[in-house]
Amino acid sequence: MTQRLFSVLLLLSALLLAATPAYANKDAVQFASNIVVPEGQSVHDAVCFFCSVNAKGTIDHDVVVFFGNVHIAQESKHDVVVFFGSVRAADNAAIGHDVVNFFGSVHLGENVTVGNDLVVMFGGLHAADTANIVGNRVAQPIWVFWTPLLVLSLIIILIVREIRASRRRRYYAMYGYPPMPPPPMPPAPPAQ
């Protein structure tokens, strides 16, 4: 039994020591601190939480942003994905694959190229006439999300209001109205 346990532990330690570590020297990952790629420089991936990405240089792979904005001045060679923020591609910029935006807006300047699909869910799309989107273009405006939600909320409010009014009417029918409080006393005359 001890020899079997020793063999398993020896095998596990050999596997742990032989594991190749992952290197992300060219990735930019930030939390609440903006990522800026200077002109003439590049990063592999840019991932940002509660911050923005301003890429004046090149992004070699993906851009993912939660609660922030993305500005592409030159090129992003793969996907740009944004949740609760905006995507702005400057004139003559290129995005290699897809642009996906949830609850935000996408602004594409003159002669911008999107290599595959453009998806804007519950936000706005503003694209110049010369923007070239190779794949599909899907844009659902924000009212598609909020209108059913508001209608459902109003229905729930009306149902709750009617249930409370019905309970109040039954209470008054069973026990009667509560007694009226006595009228306030008149103020005392001033002392002379």
Question: Tens digits of per-residue pLDDT, 24-78?
Answer: 568 889 998 999 999 999 999 999 999 999 999 999 999 999 999 999 999 999 9
Phi-psi region of 113 (alpha: psi -120 to 50; beta: other; left: phi over 0): beta
| Cα gap 62→139, rounded to integer Å | 21
What pTM was estimated for this model as a whole? Answer: 0.67
Listed by start position, the domains of the chain span: 19-141, 143-176
Question: Tens digits of per-residue pLDDT, 142-155?
Answer: 787 788 889 999 99
